[in-house]
Structure 1
Amino acid sequence: MWRFRLSLSGCRGAGGTNHLDGNTRLCTATAAEALKETFGCDGQPASYTDIDHCDTLALFGHNMAETQPVLWMRALDRLEGPEPPRLVCVDPRPTPAARCATVNLAPRAGTNVALLNALLHEIIRTDRIDRDYIDAHTVGFDELAAQIATCTPAWAARICEVPARKIEHAADVLGDAERLLSTVLQGVYQSHQATAAAVQVNNLQLIRGMLGRPGCGVLQMNGQPTAENTRECGANGDLPGFRNWQNDRHVADLAEIWNVEAQQIPHYGPPTPAMQMFRYAEQGSIRMLWISGTNPAVSLPDLARIRSILGQERLFTVVQDLFLTETAQMADIVLPAATWGEKTGTFTNADRTVHLSDKAVDPPGEARPDLDIFLDFARRMDFRDRDERPLIAWHDPQSAFEAWKRCSEGRPCDYTGLTYDRLRGGSGI
């Protein structure tokens, strides 16, 4: 968490650049965009504990058994318990989850939107919607209903190659649920019209009024264990605390917290995504890249081009990582970083549960915690606020966490109720 906040304070508050991105916008960009489009920010509106209370669990392109086996054990406890939830699985493959399903839909690849349109059509047609919830908490329902008015199961069957009767069966299960939890992962995200399909899953929850109660919600899953941190702290196309760069009030609020002038926080356009940064580096307008904890020489698309850009003499590349990765081998400077057990800090997982990880052992050799590296950089750059005081006022993980609490106060990701002492008491809050 503190890794990205420090970067944002220094780079955006003092350096005046919005060329900062997190790995979350590569592997699960769809999750973020779908949550923003539906709910206004990309924090999850559900909890893993909802699995313990739902009476219907729907997995959309989510092979939970093999991608999140610990969570799947939790689901199996319910499925093999005294009151098992009904399971709807949407996956073209016969996964372990699909084999346990009450109804399994195996659509033709790339047809998720058509399938979801038909499910929504049937639920609306059979009047299994929560009209009071829709009127109180949503906008655009009439437009949605009009858009899918002709998307019958028979229509979708011709596109998806799923029998119409199975689509109707799934709609019955979803429409009769009293506590519905839906999850989404790469079967949706890495497919045609990914964001549109993910948004339709959100819409399914909304028209049924299945949010804000135990067992009711939607989880647009993240890829990395701490991906929620990058999203909350502003390395995912936003400003820290789910602030909108297009909202002058949000920019002014952040400037007040950092004690800088609002114009120092770049908000003339959206924060630059990683692929665009590499384009700028290719063109020569970006002359330095600082790459922390990711390996673009292996993970980005169009690898020959990416490696050519990293190999440019005019580009100064700093890599901060645990290992001498392929990217690190092309760097001008390598900063050896400590891993999770060699430093103290908090982690926030996909359902917003915050954990504190205390340092267990010292880092080897010259490796240092990311926080120490960034603090050293900020000190050497002598970043200052508008009163000429040090911009980066924190000095260790706990003081950085306190600064983040102030930054998040009043926002959807408000951490002010948490302390290191409280987080040490159990298995996350």
Structure 2
Amino acid sequence: MPPTAPRHTFRSVAPVLALCWLAVFFEGMDVNVYGAVMPRMLDDPGLGLGPATAGTIGSWTTLGMLVAALVIGPVTDRLGRRPVLAVSVALFSIGSAVCALSGTPAPFGAGRFLAGLGFGSLLPICLSMVLEFAPPRRAALATGLLMTSYHVGGMFATGLGLTLAPAFGWRSVFWAGVLPALIAIPLLLRLLPESPGVLLAKGRTAEADAVADRYGMARPAPADAPAHGTGGRPSALLALFRPGARWATPLLWLASFCGLLLVYGVGTWLPQMMRASGYGLSSSVSFLLVINVGAVVGMFIAGRTADRCGPVRVSALWFLLTAAGALLLRAHLPLALTYAVVAVTGIWLFSAQVMVYAAADRVYPPADRATGLGWVTGIGRTGAVVGPWLGGVLAAGGNAQLGFITFALAGLVGAVAIGLVPVARRLGGGAPAPAPVGAQAEAQAGAE
């Protein structure tokens, strides 16, 4: 690294983190508007939306996420992170406009599926970018900081549901979901750097070195270039089952399934479940705001703790605490105490899933990172499909409170799955995950 290059700290990579934060903020906003306005949509006779259909539409959204997340790793390795990220934002902005214009459930569901394609491709790209650019010894904290944006976006969506929807109707909230295309896309295309690893894989070595120098990173080596993805070969997936990862990969998928079942099940159905438990409409929607406040706090706590204790331990403990919180919410507690339980549950629930991503970064080497994260998030999206659908089935049968038990069970299974990842790596013949590029140099330089 040239002596004039900046030190590899959070300050040197702040522009990348800030741009990815903005993109994920808009994703969090657009994902959560559905749950924020669902009670009003169910009360709209002109739309003709029932609980079972609402749950199915929620699953269409996450089905789009699943499809996109499974293919996005090789696609971005081939075309580049930045242009595909801009297309992702465009997709969910257009999908939001389709929802705002829809008069029946079918086109509304099509709009949510289109938005899901954007949602599913955006998060793996942003995670991969942040993990590539962040100081290696602060990878978990960087991941947590990035994911605070999702929950700030969720809080913003809840605010829109509480302010715009009563005054202008639920469609106005979906029109607000068009803003990402107008704000984020120009900024991403103009300011976000391309991945040095992708540039190197394309033979643009000078550009790769220039980006690495600009952001204080070690220059990428050939082993860090995503050769599988740029070639578009099936070996991109087969690489996830190499020694050391072959048994850890399915456990990461299962943990991600449970985590995203919790994230999207709760995000879609918490207001309706709390309403079924006897709380008023305004209070029920406010719980969604409160749980996202807890989530933002939890990302800071989980990220700092995981950098010290390891993301596997933190994720397993957080899943267990989420299960306990879900069981407590089943009881009809005094309103103030319920708000406190919802906030504390939010601290554990969402960051348990994010630490699964941080654990995946320690399992897969840099060259396989985008594909590995894409499949961890993609397979996990099946949980995101099941969560909203299952919540709709329970609500339609008058058993909305059983959702709390379902979420508690998901937390227990997630804890077991992520907790077994280190054992699986040893059984699979794996050594400790290779340190990210430049980790030793940074340690010697005293970065951070």
Instruction: Using structure 2 for the length normalisation, give the TM-score.
Output: 0.28
- Between the two structures, name the one with larger relative contact order (CA 8 Å, sep ≥ 6): 2
Q: Which has the higher strand share?
A: 1
Indicate the structure (1 or 2) with the bigger Cα radius of gyration: 1
